[in-house]
Amino acid sequence: MAGVNDVREEGSTADTASDTSGTSDTAAVRVADLGKRYDSDRQTVQALSGVDFAVDEGEFVCIVGPSGCGKTTLFRTIAGLESPTSGEVRLSGERVDGPGTDRGMVFQEYGLFPWRTVAENVAFGLEQQGLGGEERRARVREMLDLVGLTEFADAYPKELSGGMKQRVGIARALAVDPDILLMDEPFGSVDAQTRDMLHGELLDIWGATGKTVLFVTHDVEEAVTLADRVVVMAANPGQVREVVSVDLDRPRERTDAAFAEHVERIRALIGE
Ligand code: ADP
Ligand code: MG
């Protein structure tokens, strides 16, 4: 497979050769000329128009842009919760036509079941898959260990801080071993200090699991902290303005000149 791509890229122009992904039909995530229009009696909103990019397997890609530029719509379309009005999303070459256990989702508003313990929340997807008994318990233990919540297995969501709830959300999403982790402003409602900690933990988990991560945020510094590449969106209609590579070693320091340059560049693209 790599050999085929090598041959094809040998004779290509500098422009396409520098585009490390997006050409392959079998990219982990391929968003192809995607459009989404919401029609109601009162108004029509073109939430996405001609959105086109690809994500490699194991890559960490952030999607940033101002409020209303269609980030959540894009996220929901990749998740299979919304259907496109034009174009399509393909995962490893397969067209998305609904939700699936190949994608784990984490939302800003946690979405935990308040009547279930931490362990029971993490077990949810495994129950849906019909995994039972000791196998399920072992998988839940493994996930709680991964997010550092072993001691809170029997606690209820209301007993947890925001950061801990979000760790449960991540453990639940990863329990069924999805190929792709989809996150929509997951740390939007935790304080700055907790957010920094969660960034470190998420990067550790990403390193340990090798998942492909798509992470939506309106916070440019958060995107530069986390991503291999940042898809910068613009509004009205929602579209991709540019895809920015972040070739900086991790962990990244906000005080580094190179970090600040990336933030400035992306802010300028957004028009902040
Ligand atoms: P973001 O997440 O970047 O803030 P959204 O995807 O939530 O953007 O919204 C993009 C645009 O689509 C906005 O103008 C929003 O009002 C509109 N929109 C989002 N969801 C719906 C919906 N279910 N029905 C109608 N319009 C919607
Ligand atoms: Mg949103």
| CA 68 to ligand 1 center in whole angstroms | 6
Cα separations in angstroms, 86 against 33, 37, 76, 216, 260: 7, 9, 15, 22, 37
User: What pLDDT score does 13 carry?
Assistant: 41
For ligand 1, pick from 40, 43, 45 the residue to mutate: most ligand atoms within 8 Å of CB.
45
User: Do 211 and 181 meet the contact criterion of CB atoms below 8 Å apart?
Assistant: yes
* Domain spans in the chain, listed from the N-terminal domain onward: 38-102+179-272, 110-177
Q: What is the pLDDT of residues 225-261, one digit of tens each?
A: 999 999 999 999 999 999 999 999 999 999 999 999 9
**pTM of the complete model:** 0.90
Ligand 1 pocket test, candidate residues 34, 41, 62, 72, most atoms within 8 A of CB: 72
Q: How far apart are CA 220 and CA 270, in angstroms?
A: 10
Q: Is ligand 1 within 6 A of the CB of residue 217?
A: no
CA of 71 to the centre of ligand 2 (A): 5
pLDDT at 78 over 60: yes
Which has the closest alpha carbon to 162: 184, 193, 140?
193
Mean pLDDT of 73-92: 97
- Strand 229-234: give its sheet, edge to edge: 103-107, 180-184, 212-217, 60-64, 229-234, 239-245
Mean pLDDT of the chain: 91
Q: What is the DSSP letter of 126?
A: H
47 in ligand 1 pocket by Cβ < 6 Å? yes
By the CB criterion, residues less than 5 angstroms from ion ligand 2 are 71-72
Question: Which CATH number is 38-102+179-272 given?
Answer: 3.40.50.300
Q: Mean pLDDT throughout 184-193?
A: 91
Please write the tens of the pLDDT for every residue from 192-228: 999 999 999 999 999 999 999 999 999 999 999 999 9
Query: How many C-beta atoms surround the C-beta of residue 102 within 10 A?
Result: 16
Of 31-35, 82-86, 103-107, the poorest mean pLDDT is in 103-107
Per-residue pLDDT band for 24 (boundaries 50, 70, 90) equals low
Q: Which protein residue's CA is at the shortest distance from atom 17 of ligand 1?
A: 47
Percent of the chain past pLDDT 70, that is, above it, reads 91
pLDDT at 23 over 70: no
Q: What is the pLDDT of residue 72?
A: 96
Task: Inform me whether the pLDDT recorded for 64 exceeds 50.
Answer: yes
Ligand 2 centroid to Cα of residue 107, in Å, is 10
Q: Tens digit of pLDDT for each residue in 142-177?
A: 999 999 999 999 999 999 999 999 999 999 999 999
pLDDT band at 4 (very low <50, low <70, confident <90, very high): very low
Ligand 1 center from residue 38 Cα (angstroms): 8
Name the residue with the closest Cα to ligand 1, atom 5: 70
Instruction: Tell me the mean pLDDT in the region 106-131.
Output: 93
Question: Span 104-127, mean pLDDT?
Answer: 93
